[in-house]
Structure 1
């Protein structure tokens, strides 16, 4: 028996040494350290927190979170001649509602796709809706392509908004969020999710290349003439990013399509993303289930900081100084975090008087003890430039559900968005935008935060009627104080 015990002891000792070395090597491994550093620490509950049924949930990864890898850059030679005998259409990628193509012709309200392999091209309903037609042509000598070689060439990348392609179909463009945070941001995301030649990309961080600002945006159809929102943000954004000359509206598009001109109404799009709300909802289960057109394109892999060129072009146009880059996600841009409270107290969806007062007191105390700077803004009463300036260097944006939180687009990536809902209600629109911009998103009901695991189980438009019944939204000041103190501490690393 003694002779049998010794080998067993040796085996146990050897196994123990190997296990110990494995643990040590994992602890010291750069890969392990990097993996650990990517995980945000859970929000801890101070001992004085007296509501055990109202925990602040840990932050878990999102299915919409951007890829940490850059989009592969396609360096192969590209033919961009409008002559169909030279160029063929290439489908570059995207999803229904935000599809990206190279070498596409359009005349009147018909897109012409030249490709000998029809199966490589999405079907019409997956690209366009309404009265817009989609013709796939195999032979460049086909009579349908007659005159295409003389087409007016629109170089570079174009955002083509097909919403409004049918006069009796509502296009949802006349509101800030549906237009800018879905149609526009979705189109930018689509361009970032596909390969691009070197002349169309730029480096925004070491080793991270993203698409440059597209050349133009086209809103072609007469039924979409009412695309401007009441506060003027849609127009401000498009003109600020692209320039007035590169915003092509229906009357301008009609002139370009005039068959009496030398190009006979033919237009050649070198690179284009076609945005179509109805194609998205028709074919994307995720977009349809969330009732958010851009949800599906947001789920596609794309490089981080892909929105940086857009945001910086917009800020530069408005002559707003560019803030420094955030060193790490959810860290303060400067020494002290900047909190911006989007005040909706002059609207039908607002905090209760007590909740508003407690929030104002908490923010005032945090600022008075030097833990943060605070901006208390009624964005609805500010002009467009002032709205953007109020949030352009924010670290934390907090407010009741509403269009004001759409302005998280103009915060540097990696901030924090806190959205206040009436209890038992939730909509995903600001959550999916937060995720695509790598902001941490925290929805709260009065005295507790809702975890991602919980809201993922909610039905479509959960409790939407509670957002529009005119009742005040409650907010527990003690809970909010603990939440903000924890967040501020984490953002400063103190």
Structure 2
């Protein structure tokens, strides 16, 4: 009996010691994951050991600007009170010299423009000034974990741009995620916060909501009503860590964003490891495998080619070219050169769509939403975007961030990056037939190009299952 008691005692001492090492427990009750542990695995934001929810005024921490680019910015200890985001700092020079307008926009003005946020929306000041002006309550409620705040909002007949798979997942969410990884974070977001109404950020196909509920099942989804509730709550809130995405701030400040008319134009400047999308991809992989999806090639040496077929939509190939293209792909499939999938996404179950993206070595299609699925391909895959005589850089930016080999296709030639600008440096426009049902492709020429790019992917293997970085 005494021997058993000693064993129990030793086990308890060992467990407490291990817990102290892992979490760095303190006598004040505060704790956090040991840095060596957080480097080992990618954790849900809610995993972190909790601090007290309530912070007294004499313990208010200063706001820290971590990093950012125009329209995508990451901060620690950002305050929110009476509808205003407050930066409390004794070192304002550590924030972007452009001020609040680099980070956040106001509502549309009389000229239909979205100006920089004024002090009623986003203010930078010293803790003393905030106290003297009565902008803070005697205590604050801490919002733990990583928050993502999307400032897009529908005004009048102008879209919020959130009700679209590409514009939300492929632009604003992706920008916040890349920013987090660049800042060294290793957690999933604890909450997604919208300034827009739910009807303005739910896309028609409901892929955005599917993504949130399936890939981020433990993240809180906070719509405009919660934003409004906090505004009138007569409470001060502190966002532990927050990534802010503001499309109009990017367009207002960044020259490259203006040139390409793409809010994401600066995102490739954020340096991240090649594995930066692995945690998201691994969650989708886990879900797909749970539904018995086989994400591997049928034959190890035969690369998988997925065609995003848009023939049921308005922006599509002419019928003759579409038929010739399928004939060429089926021929290559029957000869064992490629493993081909003709994916009409509107007709496929949601998980099956993502399963095809996971297994694809090469993806191609006419410019459109389905090419956002390249996010879930293996890094270094091949992407072809078929378009009319013009050009839009949406999916080229995604490919650049993912490390894919990307080719824009004009009928029977590639349209390389050195032709994306006019002589004066401005971007070429989309052209009159860009969104038409009259897009052309030379099927035989294109099939040869697909084979060339696909064969280069034969040695590429599906990454081993891991949440490590």
Cα contact 2:412–2:446 (8 A) shared by 1: yes
Residue 164 of structure 1: aligned partner: 153
1:364-419 Cα offsets, whole Å, 9 max, x none, are 11111212211111112334333222322111111111111111112222211111
**Displacement of 1:91:** 0.4
Matched, 1:192 2:181: yes
Specify which of 430, 438, 441 is matched with residue 475 of structure 1: 441
Matched, 1:462 2:429: yes
- d(CA) in 2 for partners of 1:230, 1:165: 15
Specify which of 118, 122, 146 is matched with residue 134 of structure 1: 122
Is the radius of gyration larger for structure 1 or structure 2? 1
Matched, 1:448 2:419: no
Residue 333 of structure 2: aligned partner: 367
- d(CA) in 2 for partners of 1:314, 1:176: 16
Residue 243 of structure 2: aligned partner: 273
Residue 225 of structure 2: aligned partner: 251
Q: Is there any run of 5+ residues in structure 2 with no aligned partner, and where?
A: 1-38, 40-50, 108-116, 461-469
Residue 79 of structure 2: aligned partner: 105
Cα contact 1:159–1:187 (8 A) shared by 2: yes
Residue 279 of structure 2: aligned partner: 309
Tell me the secondary structure at the aligned position of residue 397 of structure 1.
Answer: strand
Specify which of 170, 191, 195 is matched with residue 216 of structure 1: 191
Residue 180 of structure 1: aligned partner: 169
Supply the RMSD in Å over aligned alpha carbons.
2.9
Tell me the secondary structure at the aligned position of residue 398 of structure 1.
Answer: strand
**Displacement of 1:164:** 1.6
- d(CA) in 1 for partners of 2:134, 2:445: 66
Change (3 A) 1:320 1:83: farther
Residue 437 of structure 1: aligned partner: 402
Residue 394 of structure 1: aligned partner: 360
Matched, 1:489 2:432: no
Specify which of 259, 269, 274 is matched with residue 289 of structure 1: 259
Tell me the secondary structure at the aligned position of residue 349 of structure 1.
Answer: coil
**Displacement of 1:155:** 1.2
Residue 93 of structure 2: aligned partner: 119
**Across the two proteins, how many residue pairs are aligned to each other?**
391
Tell me the secondary structure at the aligned position of residue 340 of structure 1.
Answer: strand
Q: Is there any run of 5+ residues in structure 1 with no aligned partner, and where?
A: 1-69, 71-78, 202-211, 326-330
- d(CA) in 1 for partners of 2:236, 2:313: 48
Report the TM-score when normalising by structure 1. 0.72
Report the TM-score when normalising by structure 2. 0.76
1:250-306 Cα offsets, whole Å, 9 max, x none, are 2233334442xxxx4322111111110110000011111111111112322222221
1:216-252 Cα offsets, whole Å, 9 max, x none, are 2111344x64111111111111222322651111223
Change (3 A) 1:227 1:337: same
- d(CA) in 2 for partners of 1:157, 1:181: 19
Cα contact 1:105–1:267 (8 A) shared by 2: yes
Tell me the secondary structure at the aligned position of residue 466 of structure 1.
Answer: coil
Matched, 1:418 2:394: no
Change (3 A) 1:321 1:189: farther
Cα contact 1:84–1:145 (8 A) shared by 2: no
Specify which of 307, 316, 319 is matched with residue 341 of structure 1: 307
